[in-house]
């Protein structure tokens, strides 16, 4: 993604939020099996967001 792109700021913010969410997920996963199912769903969502960002970034760079 190019810095001139109007979406660049949002893209960078989303990357930062994904990083923060992963940190929260890692902390939550240490609290036992009760939260495990929910943590798994959150991890899948985060991975999906990263995948979308990767595809978008690659298509914009070409």
Domain boundaries, the chain: 8-61
Residue 50 has pLDDT above 80, yes or no: yes
Share of residues in the chain with pLDDT > 90 (%)? 0
Query: Taking a C-beta distance cutoff of 8 angstroms, is the pair 35, 29 a contact?
Result: yes
Give every CB contact of residue 18 below 8 A, 6+ residues apart in sequence.
Answer: 46, 49, 50, 53
d(CA 44, CA 57): 20
Mean pLDDT of 25-34: 69
Residue 29 has pLDDT above 80, yes or no: no
| Beta strands in the chain, from DSSP E residues, in sequence order | none
Mean pLDDT of 25-44: 73
Share of residues in the chain with pLDDT > 70 (%)? 66
Give every CB contact of residue 6 below 8 A, 6+ residues apart in sequence.
Answer: none
């Amino acid at each position: 993604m190019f810095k001139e792109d109007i979406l660049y700021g949002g893209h960078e913010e989303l990357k930062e939020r994904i990083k923060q969410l992963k940190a929260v997920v890692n902390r939550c996963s240490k609290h036992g099996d009760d939260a495990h199912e929910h943590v798994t769903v959150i991890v899948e969502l985060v991975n999906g967001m990263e995948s979308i960002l990767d595809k978008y970034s690659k298509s914009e760079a070409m």
